[in-house]
Structure 1
Amino acid sequence: MKSLKLDAPKSLSQRVMLRLRQAIIDGEFGLGAVISEEMIAQSFGVSRTPVREAMGLLQSQGLVVIRPQVGSFVFTPSAADISALCAFRIIIEPKAAELAYRHDRAGAVAAMRSAISDMEQALAAKDNVAYGRADTAMHEAFFAHCGNRYLVESYQLVSGRVAALRTNLSAPVDVQTPASFDEHRKLLHLFERGELAAFETLMTSHIANSGLTYARALEVA
């Protein structure tokens, strides 16, 4: 495991939560992995209280499952979870993109182009984590520029789980084939041209295909 370091000047439990959240998203803790509060407390040089508070926050985000008298674990989605998650994304992401196009097209396009550039570099380097992060940045650009905080808050309910599934399950596949990257480039081109109906159609199939990739990867695991 990489060194666990804290940076942002937030409350201690918040800082621990953010570092653990990124560790889960980046696959430092695999899906279903045990997370020892004692080990985390020792690694961070803090007491178990902020760690316990952080775990509670991560549980509320769906990233951690706390089983009393048993332990804390990184979430592992079922087939039903994946299906419901993808259905939610298919509803919310095209709408966020439409609002972003109306509210701040230039900002959204700039963020998408940056993400595409990062994806291209990660693809060349066969870097799963970097590809997953860039993929996440691409999709989160719609929410960052949609101008509707309620839509943003709704997406935040699942954003951590989606990001973790990308890095753990789909990024290892995506860096071996250009298919996903090509779809992202097409999404950018459709968005830039304002072809929102075609964008929604491609986004829907893109998310559905991601769900199939997650399910297949879990079956193999």
Structure 2
Amino acid sequence: MKSLKLDPPKSLAQRVMLRLRQGIIDGEFALGAAISEEMVAQSFGVSRTPVREAMGQLQAQGLVVIRPQVGSFVFTPSAEDITALCTFRIVIEPKAAELACVHDRAGAIAAMEAAIAGMEQAVAAKDNVAYGRGDTAMHEALFAHCGNRYLQESYQLVSGRIATLRTNLSSPIDVRTPESFEQHRTLLRLFERGDFTAFEKLMTTHITNSGKTYARALQIA
């Protein structure tokens, strides 16, 4: 009989990292805010060692900047960062959508429909955190179902920063104005029809508008 093995539990540092990561994405820690290792350790009831390790992991994800002898801070993007990030998304997301349609069309549509349903509820409740999570799920569905791990890994390198900017800067506006939500619904319809020329055009507009919103919110345009 083949031996059965349980997946090892997440390390303490991994659990701390995941909790801090979600806190940064959800806006519990503002962009540029200092994160005290001592306060985090006390809050979680752990030593500073796993917290320090978690901070290193978050720095590798681009969510935290560690300044030796100064402290750890949530990232703050420059205008150049935002432009580069949006360009990256404009290049990679339409291709992920095309591949997802070929590889797992039904799965991608189901995931996007679920995300849009969550966004619709968030709009009704004016809940920008829930909207941001739904928005993130909508875009990540393209990669989850594209069948190409290199595209997935490339997106994961920046997914935390994208989600953080989305929830903190654009979602508060999106839950009060219909344009972004309607664009997501149109993107789903275009995906269902397989019209990727129109999909790419709208996705480019959608991401470009997001970048402008980020820059205005940070006053770095």
Deviation at 1:201, TM superposition (A): 0.6
**Deviation at 1:9?**
4.0
Larger mean CA deviation between 8-17 and 187-196 belongs to 8-17
Distance 1:30 1:215 in 2: 16
Secondary structure of residue in 1 paired with 2:219: helix
Q: What is residue 26 of structure 2 aligned with on the other side?
A: 26
Letter in 2 for 1:103: H
Q: Which amino acid counterpart does residue 118 of structure 1 have in structure 2? A: G
Shift of 1:180: 0.3
Aligned to 1:134: 134
What residue is the counterpart of 2:153 in the other structure?
A: 153
Map of 1:174 onto structure 2: 174
The alignment-based identity, stated in percent, is 80
State the shift of 1:133 in Å: 0.3
- Matched residue, 1:3: none
Give a deviation string over 1:64-100, Cα, whole Å, max 9, x none. 0000000000000000000000000000000100100
- Are 2:45 and 1:64 aligned? no
Unaligned 5+ runs, structure 2: 1-7
Post-superposition Cα deviations, 1:153-206, rounded to whole Å, max 9, x if no partner, equal 000110000000001000011011010000000000000111111101100110
Structure 2 counterpart of 1:205:
205
In the alignment, what sits opposite 2:82?
82
Q: Does 1:17 align with 2:3?
A: no
Q: For 1:104 and 1:196, how far apart are their aligned partners in 2? A: 16
Q: AA paired with 1:150?
A: Y
Residue 95 of structure 1 aligns with an amino acid whose one-letter code is: K
Q: Counterparts of 1:88 and 1:99 in 2: how far apart (Å)?
A: 17
Aligned residue for 1:176, secondary structure, equals coil
TM-score in terms of structure 1 length: 0.95
In the TM superposition, residue 217 of structure 1 has moved relative to its aligned partner by 0.6
Residue number in structure 2 paired with 1:110: 110
Q: Could you list the per-position Cα deviations for residues 20-72 of structure 1 after superposition, in whole angstroms to 9, with x for gaps in the alignment?
A: 00000000001000000000000000000000000000000000000000000
- The whole-number CA distance in structure 1 between the counterparts of 2:15 and 2:155 is 22
SS of 1:73's partner is strand
The structural deviation recorded for 1:211 is: 0.2
The corresponding residue for 1:48 is: 48
SS across alignment from 1:159: helix
Deviation, 1:108, is 0.2
Q: Counterpart in 2 of 1:144?
A: 144
Q: Give the Cα–Cα distance (whole angstroms) in 1 for the partners of residues 33 and 188 of structure 2.
A: 35
- Helix, strand or coil: the match of 2:206? helix
Match of residue 218 from structure 2: 218
Separation in 2 of the partners of 1:203 and 1:67? Answer: 36
Calculate the aligned-residue CA RMSD, in Å.
1.0
| Cα distance in 2 between the residues matched to 1:128 and 1:38 | 30
Q: Which secondary structure does the structure 2 equivalent of 1:157 belong to?
A: helix
Deviation above 3 Å: which 4+ runs of structure 1? none
What is the alpha-carbon distance in structure 2 between the residues aligned to residue 29 and residue 123 of structure 1?
A: 23
**Once the 2 structures are TM-superposed, how far is the Cα of residue 219 of structure 1 from its aligned partner?**
0.9
> Is 1:103–1:147's contact at 8 Å kept on the other side of the alignment?
yes
In structure 1, the residue matched to 2:5 is none
Q: Is the 8 A contact 1:63 1:74 kept in 2?
A: yes
How high is the TM-score relative to the length of structure 2? 0.95
